[in-house]
Amino acid sequence: MEKQNQKVAVLIDAENVNSVNARQIFDTMSTYGEVIIRQIFADWSNEAVKSWKTAISNYSIVSNQQFTFVARKNSSDMALVIQAMNILFERNVDIFCLVSSDSDFTRLVQELRERNKTVIGMGGRNSIKSFVYAFSEFIYLGDENPENTYHINGKVEDKTGIKPIDTKKIESTPLLIPAKIKPNDFIPLEDEKMDAIREIIETLIDENGKAYYSQIGTDMKNKFSDFIPKNYHCKSLKFLIDNILKDLPEFEKKRDQLGKNKGAEILYLVSKK
């Protein structure tokens, strides 16, 4: 993706995402281009979203207030959708970043992509797959923030996606104790993705005799929007594929020198003889 001079709009569903993820959100999106729109949506009378106050100031985010007039009706979601469509038709934006795990936004994502916009999703690992795969790319939040994970009655729960707290249940809420996690540990690919990557490698080798890392990455990304090295705690596609090779014993890694540049090389897989 060409990132130079790209204009980015970041829209945050504060009632669905924890404020501790603010730095990851803006650090990540600044690598895609110039973030010219930073907006966040919530009913700010709700105590559950008050933690966003500091992040709003630190990252110069425009906050949008939307009162919830009817119980169980999320007016903030509607406000975010309306603003996204206003930006689509009135502003020169190349990339939309929607920060939420709420699958109710699936149709909005589809509409933006149908109008040739790149749409980056950011949310919790608990996001449903049909929502994740609607995006051009989907980046999981919280992996760099151990405080996003808690032990609840001995069970690890992901708290990167939150909803307004029901104050009537506070007394019965179990104690939240930060869990000890290792954010840099490699996260294995799901069975579905392992099956897909094996099929892609076999097809490329059948056609060309070699399965280049770059082509494997492209084909996997076309199938799975969340096939991003950082989602598996890898700094590059090379490290991701190297990590899964032990589970692909029928293939071996080869490399070719790229031009006369020392250290520059092209990586690919071939079938073991």
Supply the mean pLDDT for the chain: 84
Name the pTM for this structure.
0.79
DSSP structure string for 110-158: HHHHHTT-EEEEEE-TTS-HHHHTTSSEEEESSTT-GGGEEEETTEEEE
Q: Looking at the chain, which residues constitute the CATH 3.40.50.1010 domain(s)? A: 7-178
HSE-CB for 221 with a 13 A CA cutoff: 16
Return the pLDDT at 2: 53
Q: What DSSP designation does 130 have?
A: H
Q: Looking at the chain, which residues constitute the CATH 3.30.420 domain(s)? A: 191-271
* Mean pLDDT score, 120-130: 95
At the top level of CATH, the class of 7-178 is: alpha beta
Return the pLDDT at 154: 35
Fold exhibited by the domain 191-271 = Nucleotidyltransferase; domain 5 (3.30.420)
Return the pLDDT at 265: 85
Q: What is the pLDDT of residues 186-200, one digit of tens each?
A: 999 999 999 999 999
Task: With a cut of 60, say whether residue 248 has pLDDT above it.
Answer: yes
Task: With a cut of 80, say whether residue 165 has pLDDT above it.
Answer: no
Return the pLDDT at 124: 94
Model confidence band, residue 168 (pLDDT cutoffs 50, 70, 90): very low
Q: Which amino acid, one-letter code, is at 2?
A: E
Task: With a cut of 70, say whether residue 115 has pLDDT above it.
Answer: yes
